Amino acid sequence: MTSQTDVYESTTSYAGLAQRIQDANHIVVTTHRKPDGDAIGSVIGLCRGLQSIGKEVENLFIGPIEHGLQLAAGDSDIRLLEERGLPAQEPDLIIVVDTGAWSQLEALEQWLRERKSRIIGLDHHANGDDVATDRIVDISAAACTQVVMALFEEMNIGLGTGRHSVAEALFIGLGTDTGWFRFSNADARCFSDASRLLEHNIDRYQLYRNLEETARPARMELLQRMLVSIEYVGSSAIMMLRSTDFQETNGSSTDIVGLVNTPLVLENMQASILLTDSDPTVTKMSFRSKPSLHEDKSSLIDVNVLAGYFGGGGHVHAAGARVFSPLEDVKARLKELLQS
């Protein structure tokens, strides 16, 4: 796993990125493996917006993609690396969104490194590598789609209206990355941007239904097994789902999106961590946390820092990691960190 840089920050301006885009004709837009709503929204939004100004643009995703997110992509032709391979046409420019970490781009790393001078980046995470030499990193943004939105303002690109619009794609990212505006990252800027996007005739309930109310029965079975495994370590909850759980329920990693948040409904829980090994050679870690208690600022658990011990990262309240070690070993190390 490639280590992350000590300093991960913006290296150019929106005007600088806009010029590089204007100078390109054929553009590929990609993101991290197993894309979430923000990654999907950022990629699809960029593709729609840049196509509207005459650019030849295609998306490239590393799967799997959750069923609901495929529905949310609407009429956009999704190119999955696992199914259709790399683009046949050589791109003039590659835009990497919602990540700057090589560890989240493993399946594309060689292809990207061979074209490194042609990569630009848009991100809102605090940690990353030198994937894109020219990049905007705005950690104040609740979602990467807000960074895309700011770029389009610089380029005077319209957001369209209604179904299959740029605005709809950007709203998907903003809604999902804020837990539909429940999480602490839903600040004044977030609501202002959401309000502006809703002016473009977006059916927000239909989007929510497509994204949050289209689960398979396997999700309920996996939720049950996850809760049975729960172990409390101070104000943190650790849960597990093993490869056998996925096999016996006919479930997959796309069936458990968001389940890690479940224990946070408990008053005394400050953090929740879900460990999975649907691939027996890799332990995946999902971290979530709440803001600190008003009466006890030391109660905050910064899961970005916690994930960093395992080579991962993300945000203060949401992070992830992939560890090439057995689940039980990872769990033991995690408990030691939480108890220290």
In this structure, what token pair is assigned to residue 240? 């597990």
Third-level CATH fold of 14-212: inorganic pyrophosphatase (n-terminal core) (3.90.1640)
Q: Which of 6, 229, 24 is CA-nearest to residue 117? A: 24
Name the amino acid, one letter, at 13: S
Q: Are 61 and 80 in contact (CB under 8 A)?
A: yes
| Residue whose entry in the numeric block shows the structure tokens 């992509």 | 73
Name the amino acid, one letter, at 268: N
Span 128-170, pLDDT tens digits: 999 999 999 999 999 999 999 999 999 999 999 999 999 999 9
Q: What percent of the chain has pLDDT over 70?
A: 98
Reported as a pLDDT band with limits 50, 70 and 90, residue 294 is confident
So what's the pLDDT on residue 73? 82
Using the predicted structure, report yes or no on whether residue 40 has a pLDDT greater than 80.
Answer: yes
So what's the pLDDT on residue 6? 66
In this structure, what token pair is assigned to residue 125? 């995470």
The Cβ-side half-sphere exposure at 33, using a 13 Å CA radius, reads: 15
Q: Which of 180, 179, 184 is CA-nearest to residue 205? A: 180
Reported as a pLDDT band with limits 50, 70 and 90, residue 227 is very high
Using the predicted structure, report yes or no on whether residue 4 has a pLDDT greater than 60.
Answer: no
Torsion over CA of 30, 35, 40 and 41, rounded to 10 degrees?
A: -110
Using the predicted structure, report yes or no on whether residue 300 has a pLDDT greater than 80.
Answer: yes
Instruction: Calculate mean pLDDT across residues 98-126.
Output: 96
Where does the chain hold its CATH 3.90.1640.10 domain(s)?
Answer: 14-212
Instruction: Calculate mean pLDDT across residues 46-60.
Output: 97
Reported as a pLDDT band with limits 50, 70 and 90, residue 5 is low
Enclosing H/E stretch for 210? helix 204-212
Could you confirm whether domain 217-339 is CATH 3.10.310.30? yes
Where does the chain hold its CATH 3.10.310.30 domain(s)?
Answer: 217-339
Using the predicted structure, report yes or no on whether residue 45 has a pLDDT greater than 60.
Answer: yes
pTM, two decimals, is 0.86
Mean pLDDT estimate for the chain:
94
